Amino acid sequence: MLVACGMQRCHQEALKKNRVMLAKQLVLKELMEHMIEKDIITTEMMEMIQAQSGSFSQNVEFLNLLPKRGPNAFSAFCEALRETKQQHLEALILKTTSNLSHGIARLEHCYGSNLPFPASESCNSKRPRCIEPMEHSLDYGDGPSIPPVKYCTPEFYHEHQHLAYKLISEPRGLALILSNVHFSSEKDLEYRAGGDVDCTSLEMLFQHLGYQVTVFHDQTAQEMQNALKRFSKLPDHRDVDSCIVALLSHGVEGGVYGSDGKLLQLQEAFRLFDNANCPNLQNKPKMFFIQACRGDETDRGVDQRDGKEWSDSPGCEESDANKEENLKLRLPTCSDMICGYACLKGTAAMRNTKRGSWYIEALTSVFAEDSRDTHVADMLVKVNRQIKQREGYAPGTEFHRCKEMSEYCSTLCRDLYLFPGYLPGK
């Protein structure tokens, strides 16, 4: 089954139908402060909006951003309208929402409300989508088998280690996985079916690659922040050569959801591991993997004009002086990091209810097969290639033939080979 996260469709439609009126009349200055207080937008987003010239352009930028800020964004916006004495605008969009909801109710009366509704990986709201037939599934069994990690040879290590990060400690490093699949009932975030498969796959992969792995399940945003902070301060980082952090949850651009429906801002998480805040990991590679939506747009894909390649459709998807001081080598605040994202900014990530997410399935497969002789950046390119070739199979739903595109960003300064299985002198 496919699943994607974001504002309910009828709320998106209500904003769309009143877009011109809102763009003309909305008074943003105080309202955005309320939206920051409600954890819907960030100060960086407010500054981006305020950089637009004129109130109309600022309102348009805000309206473009709002539907991508999760399932709580609409109710928070309505509340902020009341708090800033713009109730007339709230009444306008709520009336439109009511009319749209009555239309959905009429459809359910005609067709019944017990139909199975496919969904997509971001913060999917618990809502019925337009009437859709039962999705087809090509899945068999309870999830993917975990491929064994192939070890590198001593010859390969000696040929490549001079251009690579030192990565021979035992363990190779510490790894932290934060996996959220259940969310509090008062928040409109769905159970992430298949999320446990991703967590198990990554835990086994990291262990086979020689990492000491810690896993936490279903953490609130504050618990996630605390776990990341404790992890970044561990003295054991001094004695190992690298670090891995994986975050698996619903999400929006720039953040992932805790089990309480509150957002953990990714930049705050990354900052815990920079050269200023985590000196034990200075000059050591730090890997981050984010399996979460970064918006709610489903990538419908385009037809390749002259291509001969076919997409894979493996199943029904869810969607630091002066001269008197001893001078020390200066480092930039942030370096030696690489982060893989399941999807592009603004788009939804896809998850299969039995096999787990497209991204984690590709990541575990590629790393198990190729880490013996390929550095991490090149492996993430191969993951991108696999994701590009994949295609949703759910006839009759909005996710049929849908696409996804993963990406990564890097401040690595050397080749990052994991050298699995190689231990000097053994």
Catalytic residues: 250, 293
Using CA atoms, how far residue 117 sits from 54, 74, 248, 401, in Å, is 42, 22, 23, 16
Hey, what amino acid is at 322?
A: N
| 102: exposed, middle or buried (Cβ count in 10 Å: 0-12, 13-18, 19+) | exposed
Rounded-to-integer distance, Cα 250 and Cα 240, Å: 31
Strand order in the sheet with 173-179: 211-217, 173-179, 242-248, 286-291, 337-341, 407-410
Alpha-carbon torsion (118, 122, 126, 128), positive or negative: negative
Structure-block tokens of residue 309? 């390649």
Fill in the amino acid letter for 102: H
The rounded distance, in Å, linking the Cα atoms of 20 and 92 is 12
3-state DSSP assignment of residue 277 = coil
Contact (Cβ atoms closer than 8 angstroms) between residue 399 and residue 128: no
HSE (side-chain half, CA atoms, 13 Å) at 279: 3
Count the alpha carbons within 13 Å of 399 in the hemisphere toward its beta carbon.
33
Cβ burial, residue 319 (10 Å; 0-12/13-18/19+): buried
For helices 43-50 and 55-65, what crossing angle results, to 10°? 140
Residue type, position 341, single letter: Y
Residue 355's contacts (CB-CB under 8 Å, 6 or more residues apart) are 139, 143, 144, 194, 197, 314, 315, 361
Strand segments, DSSP code E, in 314-369 are 337-341, 351-352, 356-357
Angle between helices 87-111 and 9-17 (to 10 degrees): 130
CA distances from 179 to 192, 259, 262 (A): 10, 9, 15
Q: Which two tokens stand for residue 390?
A: 């994949």
Given the DSSP bridges, would you call strands 255-257 and 263-265 parallel, antiparallel or unpaired?
A: antiparallel
- In the chain, the amino acid numbered 210 is G
